[in-house]
Amino acid sequence: MSARRAVTVVGIGDDGCASLSSRAASAVARAEVLVGGERHLEFFPQFRGEKIALKGGLSAVLDRVESLSAEQNVCILASGDPLFFGIGALVVKKLGEEHVEILPSLSSVQWAFARTGIAWDDAAFVSVHGRSPEGFATRLRRLSKVAVLTDGESSPARLAARLLEHGDAAWKAWVCESLAGAGERVRAFELPALAAAEDIGPLNVLLLLRSDPAWRPPPVVPYLHEDAFAKRMPKNGLITKREVRTLSIAAMALRPDAVVWDIGAGSGSVSIEAAMLCPLGRVYAIEVDPEGVEICRDNVRTHGVDNVRVVAGRAPEALAALEDPDAVFVGGSKGSMDDIITAALDRLRPGGRLVVNAITLENVSEAYRALKARGLDPEITMLQVSRGVPLARYMRYEALNPIHIFAATKPAGAQGADKAPPAPSGGARSASEAS
């Protein structure tokens, strides 16, 4: 028989003691200290030991739990399954798994699927509880069945409005409130009605199911023709061709949570495809031309990606306030190629990738010199693409402008800027602390 563990984390539902198994009830009964949210502690008015409410910073509470557990039995109450977007992982990390026992109850997500009668073995789970909703629409692009943990700021109504704003309306939604509690309510919505709803309680789970039976997930690798971004063409008519875009994005070695800078974003084509490949990350589209800024914003909305931030300004000055990137793409320099490469390499995270597209001989020469001056031996590709176009009853080739693609990795031991701006709150790397 294993040794008794000093701290037990007990999952509990909105129906209070009725949700506890005999083992969980015994853990509460033998506890000398009971820790939990105020609504959870109210389920145990008869408890005679010390009660500690989980509010404010969790770090101080867990420090106290660690101290008390040396001599007393401590029971921590948590919603549903403590290891499903809950406090359980934080407790184990703080105290060590050998000192903690987890006794889960049914999670709110399990209750939601049970109440709606929808199978959940193929569902995805997304939490915006305590997190920014940025990237929510992008993450859902490849999903067909989703359970969403919400909060007051990222409510079901606001999330529905966000999906509608980004052109993703073909969902059926269920809002499941106060599950297993006295005020339980389960309602089905179409997204426009949900976006207008004003009577949804704070304790809820949002279920989303694709309503179009013909829906298929988008391709794993985007390969969009320039026409997809040319509803409004930049005044200089320049747009990164899809063959070039594919190789350039591949050269950036993007990961799902990458932070990307697209300098000289133009129509936003590189930003948008990079955002599709980084649903847990962010893309900063930096563009100096006011018309280009608006075109970029229009294209971002049209393509349904909500993890692109369009930055109006000239590089390198406009880069100062941005968080450090994992990858940088330079598609336009406005005569500041050397300064942009220097600033990008200073801020790029060690091991990150810098990719530069250059068409003119002047930019080719300047990009090469700037990279070599930093001690880098770039990968260089000269890409020349010809496309088949009709000629009467025949086909002929039409050549596109040749382009040089420079790619370099920042050495793992290299240092960035002396002081980099902090990542925005609620970003992809932030963690929720929910009990």
CB atoms within 10 A of CB 424: 16
Per-residue model confidence as pLDDT tens digits over 19-31:
999 999 999 999 9
Beta-ladder partners of 8 = 75, 101
- CA–CA separation, 195 vs 197, rounded Å? 6
Predicted local confidence at residue 230, as pLDDT? 77
CB atoms within 10 A of CB 244: 23
Structure tokens at 206: 């949002």
As averages over each run of 10 residues, the pLDDT of the chain (435 residues) reads 76 93 95 95 95 89 94 95 95 94 96 97 96 96 97 96 96 96 95 97 96 95 90 66 96 98 95 98 96 94 96 97 98 92 97 96 96 96 96 95 97 59 41 30
Structure tokens at 121: 């073995």
- CA–CA separation, 390 vs 398, rounded Å? 10
Q: Which of 411, 419, 287, 284 is nearest to 347 (CA)?
A: 419
Contacts of 288 (CB under 8 A, 6+ apart): 264, 312, 313, 314, 315, 318, 334
Residue that the structure tokens 């390198």 belong to: 316
Predicted local confidence at residue 56, as pLDDT? 76
Predicted local confidence at residue 10, as pLDDT? 97
- CA–CA separation, 221 vs 274, rounded Å? 10
Predicted local confidence at residue 237, as pLDDT? 58
Structure tokens at 245: 């875009």
Burial annotation 82-98 (CB, 10 A radius, 16+ → b, else e): bbbbbbbebbbebbeee
Per-residue model confidence as pLDDT tens digits over 50-91:
999 998 788 999 999 999 999 999 999 999 999 999 999 999
Predicted local confidence at residue 55, as pLDDT? 84
Predicted local confidence at residue 428, as pLDDT? 36
Contact 13, 80 (CB under 8 A): yes
Predicted local confidence at residue 167, as pLDDT? 94
Q: Cis omega (within 30 of 0) on the bond before 45?
A: no
Provide the whole-model pTM. Answer: 0.88
- The three state secondary structure string of the chain is CCCCCCEEEEEEECCEHHHCCHHHHHHHHHCCEEEECHHHHCCCCCCCCEEEECCCCHHHHHHHHHHHCCCCCEEEEEECCCCCCCCHHHHHHHHCHHHEEEECCCCHHHHHHHHHCCCCCCCEEEECCCCCCCCHHHHHCCCCEEEEECCCCCCHHHHHHHHHHCCCCCEEEEEEECCCCCCCEEEEEEHHHHHHCCCCCCCEEEEEEECCCCCCCCCCCCCCCHHHHCCCCCCCCCCCCHHHHHHHHHHCCCCCCCEEEEECCCCCHHHHHHHHHCCCCEEEEEECCHHHHHHHHHHHHHCCCCCEEEEECCCCHHHCCCCCCCEEEECCCCCCHHHHHHHHHHHCCCCCEEEEEECCHHHHHHHHHHHHHCCCCCEEEEECCEEEEEECCEEEEEECCCEEEEEEECCCCCCCCCCCCCCCCCCCCCCCCCC
Vertex 246 angle, CA 240 and 247, to 5°: 100
Residue that the structure tokens 């408890």 belong to: 47
Predicted local confidence at residue 232, as pLDDT? 60
Contact 140, 117 (CB under 8 A): no
